[in-house]
Amino acid sequence: MSNQPLNVLGEPLQLCCSNPMTGFFRDGSCRTGPEDLGTHVVCARMTAAFLEFTRSRGNDLSTPRPEYQFPGLKPGDRWCLCALRWREACEAGFAPPVELGATHAKALEWVSLELLRAHAVDKLN
Within-domain flag for 86: yes
Within-domain flag for 122: no
* Tens of each residue's pLDDT in the chain, 125 residues: 458 999 999 999 999 999 999 999 999 999 999 999 999 999 999 999 999 999 999 999 999 998 887 889 999 999 999 999 999 999 999 999 999 999 999 999 999 999 999 999 976 53
Which one, of 38, 53, 52, 125, lies nearest residue 89 by Cα?
53
Total number of domains constituting the chain: 1
Within-domain flag for 61: yes
Within-domain flag for 116: no
Which CATH number does the domain housing residue 62 bear?
A: 3.30.56.110
Within-domain flag for 117: no
- For 28, counting Cβ atoms within 10 Å of its Cβ (0-12 exposed, 13-18 middle, 19+ buried), the class is buried
Please compute Rg for the chain using Cα positions: 13
Within-domain flag for 120: no
Q: How far is CA 114 from CA 40, 98, 109, 111, 118, in A?
A: 19, 12, 13, 8, 6
Q: Output the pTM of the full model.
A: 0.93
Residue-level pLDDT at 1? 44
Q: 75: domain range? A: 1-110
